[in-house]
Amino acid sequence: MKITKEEAKKNIDEIKKKLLKWSIEYYDNDNPIVDDYAYDSKLLELKKIEKEFPELITKDSPTQIVGGTPSSTFEKTSHTIPMLSLSNAFNDGDLFRFDNQINSINRKYTYFIEPKIDGLSISIKYSSGKLVKAITRGNGLMGENVTENIKQITNIPLTINDKRDIEVRGEIYIPLEIFKEINKKRINNSEKEFANPRNAASGTIRQLNPDIVKERKLKIFVYWAHDYKTKEFLWDTQEETINNLRDLGFPTSPESFKSFDIKEVIQGIKKIEEKRNKLDYEIDGIVIKVNELELCSIIGKTSKFPKWAIAYKFPPNIKETILEDIFQTIGRTGRVTYNAKLKPVKIDGTSVQRATLHNADYINNLDLRVGDTVGIKKAGEIIPKVIYYNESKRLSSFIKWTEDKICNACNNPLYREEGEVDQYCKNKNCPSRIIESLLHFSSRDAMNIEGLSIKQIQKFVELDWIKDVADIYLLKEKKEEILKLEGYKDKSVFNLLSSIEKTKNNDLSRLLFGLGIRHIGKKTAKDIARTFGSIEEIENTSFEFLLEQMDLGEVKAKSIFDFFNSQKNKELLLKIKRVGINPIQNIISIDRSNKFFNKKIVITGKMEDATRNEVIDFFERKGAKITSSLSSATDFLIAGVKPSKNKLDKIKKEKIISVINIKELQ
C-alpha cells in the first residue's frame, strides 16, 4: 500500500529516533538494547522509505552516518583516510545485484573473501617499522587514540620489517573461551555481564588502565593496508596484501580465500557458515571485496560505503518459543535484572528455558508481553537473548507489560534514579541483596574465601546464622551445628572455617572491594587503600578531599563518603573489627609529603631496571594515580628509555621527568 509523503516523513522521523537511540547505546555506551537483527531490519525499512522519497533523506540519517561518536575519555584523532562502513547483503539476490554493478565497469576482476569478525574496528599506523599510533573507527572521520592499550594485545607486532608509512586496519575481538571466563568473573563479582564479545572488546579498549586490556587477552585479525601519507595501496591485490601482511607478522584470518566469480563466492560463504560454530571467535557474516585494488578508484564509493565491497550478513540462528513469564532478580547493589521464563526450546544443541531481558527499557523497546511467541538467539553463542516477538501470533488478550514497582524478594519499593536505565531495591536487608553481597564479599577478587559457595551462603542465611559479612567470621561458633547439617563432614567444615580465618589479614583493598560500595571497583579500592592506609582514616576524611584531592569524581566521592558516614555501615565496620578482621598490616604506609602523592602520572618508555608493572607499582606505593593518556590535569610525564616523542611534544617541559633507572626516583 502506497503511503503519502507526510506519512513517509512521520515514519522516517520515528525510525531515525529509534535507530539513533540504539546506535548511541551500541557504539558509544557499549550497551546494546536490541539485537543486530532488529537493528538491521529497522535500517532496511528506513532505506526502503528513503528510496521511495529521496527528497526526505537528510545528512543525519542513519543511512548516511558511519558508527558512533568519539569518546571524550581519549584524545580525538582524525583518520587520514575515512574508515567507511560496508553496505549489507542478506541473500543471494543481493550478491548478484552487487556483482552486476561491478561487472558494469567492463574490466576483468576476481573477488577476495574474508570472514566478517564481530569486533571493534581499529586503524594502526607504523613509521620506520615501529607502531606509532592506533585509532578506533569512531564516526569514520575521527576516532579515539588508544595506542597504549593496543600495545597490550600480544598478537599485534610492535615492530615490522618494513620502513614505509603503513596503516593497517583490522578487527579486535575476544576469543569466546576468554569471553566466557570474563563474564563468569563479572557474575561472581555481581557486575553487569557483557552483552556479547563485541561489546566486551569495545569496552576493554576504552579502559584507562592498559593492564586490564592485557588481562583480557584481546586478539586481532588484520584485513587492510595502505600508505597513510601517499594514500596509495602497498600491493596490487587484496590477496597479495593479506599474504604480505602475514609475512610481516600480522595475524590474518585463515578462512580468507580468492574467488573467480560470484557463484564461487556463494559456495564459499556456505562453507564458512558451516564452520561458524566451530570458530573461537564471533563472525556475523562474510566480507566480499574486489581483489584487484586498482579497480577500487574506478568503482568508487558513496559518503558511507565503498562500492567495491559488501558484507553478506548471516541469518541469525533464531528459534521461536513462548514467553511464559517475565521475572526479576536483585543483585548485591539492589540493581534489578529482568529475565524471561521460556517454554523450553533447543538452540545449538542445548535446551534454553531462561533468557536475559536486561532492564525495563529493553523490554519496552521490544514491546514484549507474557504469552508472546518470541525469537531467541544466543548472544555470542553463549547467553540466550530475546530479540523480537512474532506480531502475527500476538493475541489481543496479551497485557502490555509494565515495569515492577515492588521488589519480589522483600516487598519494598523499587526506585529508578534520574538519568539511569536501571531500577534498584534500596532495602539493605533484602534477602537477595544480602546473599549477593555475601557472595561478592567472599569472591576471588574480594576476600577470596575458598569453599564458601552460594548454596552454603543461602543455607546459612536461611538458618539466620549470617545476616551480614561480619557474621561469616562467627561461623566458627556454629561448628557443631554445621556438622549436623546434611553433607557436612569434619574435614570439609575444618577447611571452610580455616579458609575464612586466614582471610582476616587480607589487604585493605580487598576488604573495601568486598564491601560492595556502589561505583567502587578494584582499582578505586586499591587507590583508596594506598592513600588512607586504614578504615579509620577513610572514616575521618571529608567529601572535599575525596572529590578534589583524590580526584575520584562526584559520583564515586559521594558514594564513598555516604557509605562511611551511614550509621548502619559504621555499626557494620565496628562489628568487622570486633570479629578480628585486621586489614591494616598489609598496607604500606605512604609518606604524603613525597612529590608524587596524589599526582596524576603518565609513563612512557622503559626503565632499565624495572618492568612497566614494577614502575606502576612504585608510583602507586607513593600514592600516585597512573593514567594512560595526557591531559591538562597530568602532573608528571615519566619519560624512560625511548619515550614517545608524541607525548613529549604535548606536555610542558617542566612536567617531564627523564629517568633511565627507577633508582633515580628513590
Question: Looking at the annotation, which residues are catalytic?
Answer: 116
Residue 371 dihedral angles phi and psi, to the nearest 5°:
105, -20
Q: Output DSSP code: residue 221.
A: E
Q: Which distant-in-sequence residues (6+ apart) come within 8 Å of 546 by Cβ?
A: 552, 556, 557, 560, 561
Task: Give the gyration radius of the chain's Cα atoms.
Answer: 28
The sign of the CA dihedral 222, 228, 233, 235 is negative
Q: Look at phi and psi of residue 495 and say left if phi exceeds 0, alpha if psi is from -120 to 50, else beta.
A: alpha
Encode 331-371 in three state secondary structure.
CCCCEEEEEEEEEEEEECCEEEEEEEEECHHHHHHHCCCCC
Residue 149 to residue 204: CA distance in whole angstroms: 9
Spell out the residues 6+ positions from residue 644 whose beta carbon is closer than 8 angstroms to its own. 604, 605
Please count the residues of the chain.
666
- The residues facing 309 across adjacent strands are 289
Question: What is the helix (H) or strand (E) element at residue 383, kind and residue range?
Answer: strand 383-389
Closest CA to 550 of 528, 523, 571: 528
579-607 burial string, b = 16+ CB within 10 Å, else e?
eebebbeebeebeeeeebbbbbbbbbbeb
Give the angle subtended at the CA of 340 by the CAs of 184 and 402, to the nearest 5°.
125
* Alpha carbons 546 and 558: distance in angstroms, whole number: 8
